[in-house]
């Protein structure tokens, strides 16, 4: 017959005995002092609707030989530290599964789970400062881990864990690397623009002589301009391939593709691409047929056309915002529906399947706009019932892309190198006559981001 518990105290005693007898993970029994007082506390938890048995199981499971079970009275919240008024020390509250920190310089408190805190210990036993890699095995961190003690001082928080290990955390580290702290500290750097609000030249142009001069901070200004506006200029660059290469390589190595590393292109159809013609090109982004489109595209006009050939620039993120505001259902569709793009020539076939709008998986902010109606492959990725919907949304999007209010036309001249964020800025070209030579190259996303982060520039 199944045992019954006539009183709450007997229920507690029976539950604990069941756990001790059945749980193979517990290697030693812990004597619970003042059982009656503990059972009263647990009974109150039961009466309040908590799942007592499962809570006890989660609490009393531990890793063999390393962490002792937590006694019943530790299930209640504990205030580890209450600083005096006006102190620069954080107030710490133990909230059973997490630590809650309130610092006078923070706009709000932080809640950090104990597994996260143990995982982010930065002592030399847990983190290799030569390789900047973790040492401590995350697999060995119990999910129900709780600290033995927590202390605070002016610099940060000191936690002692049940196995005796001590971890120290600076307040700045906790704020900058927690989800809530990072989200609150975020400052929007991007500035969206239209043709009438195109950024002034002084904000986006850096002379070559200042690019590598740390005192002038030319490199930081250039990268900041690309992140902020989607483009930047380097002036005073000799109009040839090698000089252009040398200037751009101040940022990072060039990305090698089947076009090469750096080039001078003319209307000779050297490659099976409309760019190698004299035809008009509407606004688009490049290399959508690669699994990861090139991040930075570089233009340097070595020889302007006799007539025409002006360059078109459109802020893709501004287009995305307008489209989102006017057609939210279309924005959602083109953010979730992948479209095929391809490049084909003799002996070469590149094919990629991706969405037009791509977003940061943590913040949801747009991080890439892939738009190229020329390189679209046969549309086999959308079922029949959604096909009309797709063409409606693409048509609405294209009408915004082609709105003259969003189009800025510029005549590039020799000596001035244009660097565009190919994940944001669309470019195009007017038809032209006569000879026209345009130099260029690509930069990879990872290399560009690395340079920005080294300079202290947030790329997202």
Residues 111-162 have pLDDT tens digits of 999 999 999 999 999 999 999 999 999 999 999 999 999 999 999 999 999 9
DSSP 109-169: -EEEEHHHHHHT--STTTEETTTTEE-S-GGGS-TT---SEEEE-SSEEEEE-TTS-EEEE
Estimate the crossing angle of helix 328-336 against helix 384-401, to 10 degrees. Answer: 110
> In the Cβ-directed half-sphere of 48, how many Cα atoms lie within 13 Å?
7
pLDDT, one tens digit per residue, over 281-325 is: 999 999 999 999 999 999 999 999 999 999 999 999 999 999 999
In three-state secondary structure terms, 178 is: coil
Using CA atoms, how far apart are residues 252 and 454, in angstroms rounded to an integer? 12
pLDDT on residue 82: 54
Give SS3 for 396.
Answer: helix
- Count Cβ atoms below 10 Å from residue 74 Cβ, excluding itself: 14
CA distance 232 to 10: 75
Tell me the C-alpha distance between 79 and 144, whole Å: 19
Task: Give the whole-angstrom CA distance, residue 399 versus residue 28.
Answer: 71
Q: Backbone phi, then psi, for 2, in 5-degree steps?
A: -70, 135
Per-residue pLDDT of the chain in tens (460 residues, 90 and over written 9): 444 444 544 544 444 444 334 433 333 333 323 333 333 333 333 333 333 333 332 332 333 333 333 333 343 455 555 555 555 666 777 777 899 999 999 999 999 999 999 999 999 999 999 999 999 999 999 999 999 999 999 999 999 999 999 999 999 999 999 999 988 888 889 999 999 999 999 999 999 999 988 888 999 999 999 999 999 999 999 999 999 999 999 999 999 999 999 999 998 888 878 888 999 999 999 999 999 999 999 999 999 999 999 999 999 999 999 999 999 999 999 999 999 999 999 999 999 999 999 999 999 999 999 999 999 999 999 999 999 999 999 999 999 999 999 999 999 999 999 999 999 999 999 999 999 999 999 999 999 999 999 999 988 7
d(CA 423, CA 419): 12
Query: Which tokens is 373 given?
Result: 């109606």
Instruction: Return the number of other C-beta atoms located less than 10 Å from residue 367's C-beta.
Output: 17
Give CA–CA dist 283/382, Å, rounded.
24
Tell me what pLDDT residue 42 has. 36
Q: Cα(222)–Cα(205) distance, rounded to whole angstroms?
A: 7
Check: CB of residue 439 under 8 Å from CB of residue 297: no
What is the sign, positive or negative, of the torsion defined by CA atoms of 233, 234, 235, 237?
negative
């Amino acid at each position: 017959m199944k045992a019954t518990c006539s009183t709450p105290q007997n229920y507690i005693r029976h539950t604990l005995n069941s756990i001790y007898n059945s749980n193979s993970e517990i290697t030693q029994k812990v004597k619970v002092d003042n059982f009656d007082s503990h059972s009263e506390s647990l009974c109150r938890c039961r009466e309040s609707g908590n799942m007592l048995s499962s809570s006890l199981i989660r609490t009393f499971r531990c890793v063999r030989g390393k962490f002792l079970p937590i006694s019943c009275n530790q299930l209640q919240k504990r205030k580890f530290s209450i600083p005096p008024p006006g102190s620069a020390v954080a107030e710490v509250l133990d909230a059973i599964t997490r630590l809650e920190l309130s610092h006078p310089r923070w706009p709000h408190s932080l809640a950090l789970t104990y597994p996260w805190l143990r995982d982010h210990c930065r002592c030399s036993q847990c983190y290799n400062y030569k390789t900047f890699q973790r040492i401590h095995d995350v697999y060995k961190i119990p999910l129900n881990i709780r600290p033995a003690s927590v202390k605070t001082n002016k610099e940060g928080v000191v936690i002692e864990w049940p196995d005796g290990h001590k971890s120290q955390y600076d307040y700045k580290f906790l704020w900058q690397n927690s989800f809530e702290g990072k989200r609150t500290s975020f400052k929007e750097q991007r500035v969206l623009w239209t043709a009438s609000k195109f950024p002034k030249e002084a904000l986006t142009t850096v002379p070559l002589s200042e690019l590598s001069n740390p005192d002038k901070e030319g490199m930081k200004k250039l990268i900041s301009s690309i992140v902020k506006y989607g483009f930047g200029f380097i002036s005073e660059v000799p109009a040839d391939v090698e000089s252009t290469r040398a200037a751009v390589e101040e940022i990072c190595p060039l990305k090698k593709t089947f076009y090469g590393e750096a080039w001078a292109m003319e209307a000779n159809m050297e490659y099976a691409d409309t760019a190698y013609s004299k035809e008009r090109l509407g606004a688009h982004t490049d290399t959508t047929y690669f699994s990861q489109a090139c991040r930075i595209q570089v233009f340097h006009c070595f020889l302007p056309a006799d007539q025409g050939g002006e360059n078109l620039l459109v802020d893709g993120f501004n287009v995305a915002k307008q489209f989102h505001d006017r057609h939210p259902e279309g924005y959602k569709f083109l953010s979730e529906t992948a479209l095929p793009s391809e490049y084909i020539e003799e002996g070469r076939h590149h094919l990629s399947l991706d969405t037009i709008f791509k977003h940061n998986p943590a913040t949801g902010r747009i991080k890439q706009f892939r738009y190229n109606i020329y390189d679209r492959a046969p549309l086999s990725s959308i079922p029949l019932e959604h096909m009309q919907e797709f063409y409606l949304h693409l048509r609405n999007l294209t009408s915004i892309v082609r709105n003259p209010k969003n189009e800025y036309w510029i005549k590039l001249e020799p000596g001035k190198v244009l660097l565009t964020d190919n994940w944001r800025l669309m470019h195009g070209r007017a038809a032209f006559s006569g000879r026209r030579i345009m130099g260029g190259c690509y930069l990879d996303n990872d290399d560009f981001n690395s340079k920005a982060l080294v300079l202290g520039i947030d790329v997202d």
